[in-house]
Structure 1
């Protein structure tokens, strides 16, 4: 083969190699472009928000709805509580009315006790008044002063005995007793050589004890020992 023929053959082989390399490069570029396009599509798909449809909402929300059995039980419980509340309210109103009636009755009883609490002693007093009326009538008919005096003395004794026996009202007898400032009130004093301690010598007004308490002090004259 001549030198010109060899050169032509080598040129042809060089052209074929270049075309092969270009084809491979084209395939590589095409693959890279496809990969970039696929990556962009995946990113766009990832950023897109899911579409909510009425069907999906109905399916998702179906779990929150109460069952008919649960609703019926709740309604029964509400009815029971309302009935219990009504019963308690009625009971409260009845108790309030009973308390108000009790309060009014107690007030009435206290008022009646204050008004009529002395009924028994008043009855005892009118009995003594009856005795006085009989004594006065007897004295008016007989004109006997001594009998009248004796009758009055008897009535006075009966009266004081009744007060002491039934009501605890005791009259103090002070003459001859040692002066006691707890039950005596000295109206007058005099010096006496016969006494070595203060002694009541005259009773101007009787004193009275109600049970163990001084109801009224006796007004007395006291003999004081000479110094």
Structure 2
């Protein structure tokens, strides 16, 4: 047998056997490192981005993600109830707190009464100053009924100014023909029987009534229409 026939497979013609792991000892193709064939770098980048996005979404989900509006409102109501309980407990522990509330309410009532009394005193002061002018207003009413207050005349201008002045002071007149008779507002000077009258009404106004706010200067003096048989 020749030397070539006795050579082992893979043996160097010089008789040296290749070392293990060398390229000559590999029987198949060597795998390549890097991206798999047919896969572009863009696909790999998109895969990486999708992985980061999924991790971000998972991280954004926390223990409060499943809370509903009812849960939030319930927690707020519980907090308010706790505050109310705390306030009640503080009031029970501090006996002076109730006294403070009572004094505050009494002071508020006192202030209201004081302001009302001050306004009433002001109305009475104005009433005492205006009362002497009521007779002048009566004369103006009579002159107007007789036609002496011709529009555009000097007398009519003076009457208009005087009436406007007392109105600005808060003076109001009352008492009109045809209105129901009210003994709290009207003073009956005369009663005139009128057939068909079912209710006492003001037939004529002798003198107007005047008031300032709640202060009555004088009642209206009127003639009252009554039933023919009453």
TM-score (norm 1): 0.32
Higher relative helix content: 1
Q: Which has the higher contact order (CA 8 A, sep 6+)?
A: 2
TM-score (norm 2): 0.32
Q: Which has the larger radius of gyration?
A: 1
